[in-house]
Amino acid sequence: MLTPKQHELLIFIEKHLRETGCSPSFEEMKEALDLRSKSGIHRLISALEERGFLRRHKHRARALEVIKLPPDLNPGQDTARNFSPNVIKGNFGARLVGLRAEAPEASAISLPLYGKIAAGLPIEALRDNEETIEVPMSMLGSGEHFALTVEGDSMVEAGILDGDTVIIRRGEMADNGQIIVALLDENEVTLKRLRRKGQSIALEPANIHHETRIFPAERVKVQGRLVALLRQY
């Protein structure tokens, strides 16, 4: 799931590589996306790397490689004519409560909406909430999923904004660098990027104004990892 700016930058890099044989400079990317500083480009490239769309070759100047494109675009398409954000928009007021997953004609499914999750400071998870939310089945893979509403701004540089709804695949395993739901001390939950080192776990924000928090491994349990994002406009 890419933000509009991540999507736009990826397509610009792919087109530049295809037409010139080399990756664009940071100045060219800044101008193409109409950003005020190159630091924004650094953050976008890092996010694309983490999502597996882009590879940056170290110790080589202007060495970017596009690994894959979003599924709605093929190489050679013009980004100005065909760009559309991968953030899902819409009014999710209509519920599909009790929708059977085995119905082959279904295009959406209802997931439990557990409540608010802090992207800034941890808050108590509202697991007894019976509310549900309609989610396109194309956004989901195998496994069990649930939804949480984001509250806070510490993940904005990963494209996760206050008020967004995150779709989480339930599970206790996650790789370093993945965005997870972490349960702290059995009663608080937060959305952060996972970093493991030895017997410690760091919960890393995506906002330079927030600090990384480090805990003993036994205090943190992975509840699931981010697989999709819903946003209402």
Active-site residue set: 154, 192
- Taking each helix axis as running N to C, give the angle between helix 4-20 and helix 38-50, from 0 to 180 degrees, rounded to the nearest 10: 90
CA distance 84 to 80: 9
Short-list 1, 102, 96, CA closest to 53: 1
DSSP state at residue 98: T
Continuous segment of H or E residues that includes residue 227 = strand 220-230
Kindly tell me the burial class for residue 79, based on how many C-beta atoms sit within 10 Å of its own C-beta (0-12, 13-18, 19 or more). middle
